[in-house]
Amino acid sequence: MKGFTFIEIILVVAIIAILSSSTAPFLSRFLQRNQLESTKDKIISSIRKAQNYAMNGKNDTTWGVCKTGSLIRFYSGNCSTPATKEDFTIPQSVTVSGLLDTTFSKSRGEPSQILSISITSAIKNHTVEVNAVGGMIIN
């Protein structure tokens, strides 16, 4: 007779269960770190894009970045009723604070205010600072 015995099947299931339970914390940590880094990168790219569009005078309008609810918004016009927008949802495992409604000057790309943005998860924190002349410090 060919086939597997009940004991062999139970052993294989037990081995799979042990491996699964031992890798779950690593997978969870990987996903949290990935969500944190992705959120940080999206904030930085949105700020740089708004600065670039403002400096180039694209569509001769105001360009900015804001946080509205659980969204990060790159926009033209104003944050609450944008003419153009790109929204990015902040993952539940990540907290963003200090991202105020900020627009950039048309000629030099200077922000309407200095920003100190904190991006936090259970495993790590990042800080993105935008100074008065539009330069960024990323920690």
Percent over 90 (pLDDT), the chain: 90
Q: Model confidence over 92-136: pLDDT tens digits?
A: 999 999 999 999 999 899 999 999 999 999 999 999 999 999 999
CB contact at 8 A, 45 and 39:
no
3-class secondary-structure state, position 39: helix
For the segment 21-30, the average pLDDT, to the nearest whole number, is 89
User: How many domains does the chain contain in total?
Assistant: 1
Average pLDDT, the chain: 95
CA angle 90, 94, 98 (to 5 degrees): 80
Residue 3 predicted with pLDDT over 90:
no
Whole domain around residue 126: which residue ranges? 6-138
Flag whether 33 is in a domain.
yes
What is the pTM assigned to this prediction?
Answer: 0.84
Q: Is residue 75 part of a domain?
A: yes
What are 46-90's pLDDT values in tens digits? 999 999 999 999 999 999 999 999 999 999 999 999 999 999 999
Share of the chain above pLDDT 70, in %: 99
Position 1 in a domain:
no
In a domain? residue 112:
yes
Q: Which residue has the tokens 């700020």?
A: 47
* 16 domain residue, yes or no: yes
Question: What does the angle CA 23 – CA 25 – CA 28 come to, to the nearest 5 degrees?
Answer: 110
Token duo for residue 27: 């997978």
Q: Indicate which CATH number applies to the domain containing 36.
A: 3.55.40.10
The Cα–Cα gap between 129 and 119 comes to 11
- For residues 24-58, one letter each, b for 16 or more C-beta atoms within 10 angstroms of the residue's C-beta and e for the rest, the string is eeeeeeeebeebbeebbebbbebbbbbbebbbeee
